[in-house]
């Protein structure tokens, strides 16, 4: 367990975020393995099909990730306050909420997979492949939710390394299975989807066995499921809030994907490859954000507001260093990176992918602010502002999609997300510091009394 309420804030956040970063990178690597093997062995059409369906899958997976993180916030707060009974009840509530939600999401997403792809104007030539890939990924959504929940609970008590180890094992298995089920056993795009689900199931099983052995705090009894209504509602609200926050942003991305789909399968394939690179380069921001959420939650439980401000400010400067590095990397090595995912002879695919990667990198400073201050607000238990900001972000993406894409083509696609990042970063920074001022005033008032 890791207590983040004492010691150097930046050092604690960085040491906590590094294992998360490696875990996220390995997770992205085995997603990229799908892309690379499909692109190299199956060609442009299956790659485009995977890209068209992945955007839909990310909508559901994003909700699962957000919900698992959200229900864990109270666990971290109770840990910071040294309230073991509260931790037990919050853990039991996490299990109920996440398992129930994952079953519901599995059923709904499988039933609506093909209709959604049709709604997004997926080209007929890749529709069947896209639907098959999506259904297999969604069939495994229960294990995806449970892995994210177990990882979230471990992070709540400062253990960010163990989920990393299990994810590394799963990532290696996924790469091996990708090759076996696509290149050796010709299962086509279904093989890539099966490899991902099997690897995720292994990571989930390992997390469960580890928690059962090492963390008795998370082994709840029947009595722990007699949940206090107020606590359960608060936890459910946080989970749904963070889940919806991720999903709402993804809805805007879905609308954007529908515009990409109308630009042809070559553009879809380019966008698929570019997104893998862009998402990989985002991982340090995401990892710092997760660490900041835990840091803020624990220190809020310990009532250390000045410490929260110090940790968040120093995290911002670290993220800016990475943002600058991303710009240099994108303009010097984007073609090289894209070449790993698709044969370089397809210049009509490589060139727009490089263009997209470079445009996105220019706005990573705004993205850093968005991730960190949204995470800090979540750690404070403020679910309203992040979800409202996500709604605005979604609306901005939709407006840009329907205005810039018809006028500017793929340039409009590349600018849609950065425009929303810039607007939301300003809103989230302002809301965080206003929230902290209110809390400091309340704290001073209580001390005076």
Residue 187: what pLDDT?
86
What is the torsional sign of CA 320, 325, 329, 331? positive
Q: Could you give the angle at which helices 410-448 and 347-361 cross, rounded to 10 degrees?
A: 30
Q: What is the mean pLDDT of residues 88-105?
A: 88
pLDDT for 260 beyond 60? yes
What pLDDT, in 10s, does the model give residues 125-142? 888 988 999 999 999 999
Question: If you search the block for the tokens 């001390």, which residue do you land on?
Answer: 447
Residue 280: what pLDDT?
84
Contacts within 8 Å (CB) and 24+ apart, 399-403:
401/252, 401/255, 401/256, 401/258, 401/259
Q: What is the mean pLDDT of residues 411-439?
A: 88
> What confidence category does residue 107 fall into, taking pLDDT thresholds of 50, 70 and 90?
very high
pLDDT for 236 beyond 90? no
In terms of Cα–Cα distance, which of 210, 178, 205, 223 is closest to 35? 178
From residue 71, how far is each of 77, 87, 292 by CA, in Å?
11, 11, 16
User: Quick one: DSSP state of residue 217?
Assistant: G
| Domain residue spans of the chain | 9-448
What pLDDT, in 10s, does the model give residues 305-326? 888 888 889 999 999 999 999 9
Question: If you search the block for the tokens 């089920």, which residue do you land on?
Answer: 181
| Phi-psi category of residue 215: left, alpha or beta, with phi > 0 → left and psi -120 to 50 → alpha | beta
In terms of Cα–Cα distance, which of 135, 137, 136 is closest to 110? 135
Whether residue 175 contacts residue 30, with contact meaning beta carbons closer than 8 Å, is answered with yes
Q: Which residues in 313-332 are b (16+ Cβ under 10 Å) and which e?
A: ebbbebbeebbeebeebbee
């Amino acid at each position: 367990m890791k207590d983040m309420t004492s010691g150097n804030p930046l050092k604690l956040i960085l040491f906590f975020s590094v294992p998360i970063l490696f875990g996220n990178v390995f997770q992205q690597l085995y997603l990229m393995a799908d892309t690379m093997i499909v692109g190299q062995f199956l060609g442009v059409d299956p790659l485009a099909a995977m890209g068209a369906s992945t955007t839909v899958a990310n909508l559901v997976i994003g909700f699962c990730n957000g919900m698992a993180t959200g229900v864990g916030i109270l666990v971290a707060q109770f840990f910071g306050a040294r309230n073991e009974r509260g931790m037990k009840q919050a853990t039991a509530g996490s299990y109920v909420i996440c398992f129930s939600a994952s079953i519901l999401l599995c059923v709904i997403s499988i039933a609506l997979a093909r209709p959604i792809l049709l709604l997004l104007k997926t080209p007929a030539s890749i529709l069947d492949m896209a639907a098959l890939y999506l259904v297999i990924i969604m069939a495994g959504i229960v294990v995806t939710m449970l892995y994210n929940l177990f990882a979230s609970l471990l992070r709540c008590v400062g253990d960010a390394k163990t989920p990393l180890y299990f994810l590394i094992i799963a990532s290696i298995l996924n790469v091996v299975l990708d090759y076996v089920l696509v290149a050796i056993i010709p299962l086509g795009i279904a093989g890539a989807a099966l490899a991902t689900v099997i690897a995720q199931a292994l990571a989930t099983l390992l997390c469960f066995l580890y928690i059962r052995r090492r963390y008795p705090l998370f082994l709840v009894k029947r009595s722990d499921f007699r949940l206090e209504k107020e606590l359960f509602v608060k936890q459910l609200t946080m989970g749904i809030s963070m889940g919806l926050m991720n999903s709402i942003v993804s809805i805007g991305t879905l609308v954007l994907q529908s515009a990409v789909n109308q630009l042809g399968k070559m553009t879809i394939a380019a966008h698929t490859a570019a997104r893998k690179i862009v998402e990989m380069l985002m991982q340090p921001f995401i990892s710092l954000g997760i660490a900041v959420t835990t840091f803020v939650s624990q220190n809020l439980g310990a009532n250390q507001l000045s410490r929260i401000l110090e940790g968040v400010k120093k995290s911002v400067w670290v993220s800016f260093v990475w943002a600058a590095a991303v710009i240099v990397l994108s303009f010097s090595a984007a073609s090289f990176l894209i070449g790993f995912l698709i044969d370089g002879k397809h210049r009509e695919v490589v060139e727009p992918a490089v263009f997209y990667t470079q445009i996105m990198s220019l706005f990573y400073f705004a993205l850093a602010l968005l991730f960190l201050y949204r995470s800090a607000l979540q750690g404070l238990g403020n679910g309203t502002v992040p979800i409202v900001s996500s709604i605005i972000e979604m609306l901005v993406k939709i407006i840009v999609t329907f205005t810039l894409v018809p006028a500017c083509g793929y340039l409009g696609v590349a600018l849609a997300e950065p425009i929303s990042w810039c607007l939301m970063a300003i809103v989230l920074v302002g809301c965080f510091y206003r929230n902290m001022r209110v809390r400091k005033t309340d704290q001073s008032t209580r001390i005076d009394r």
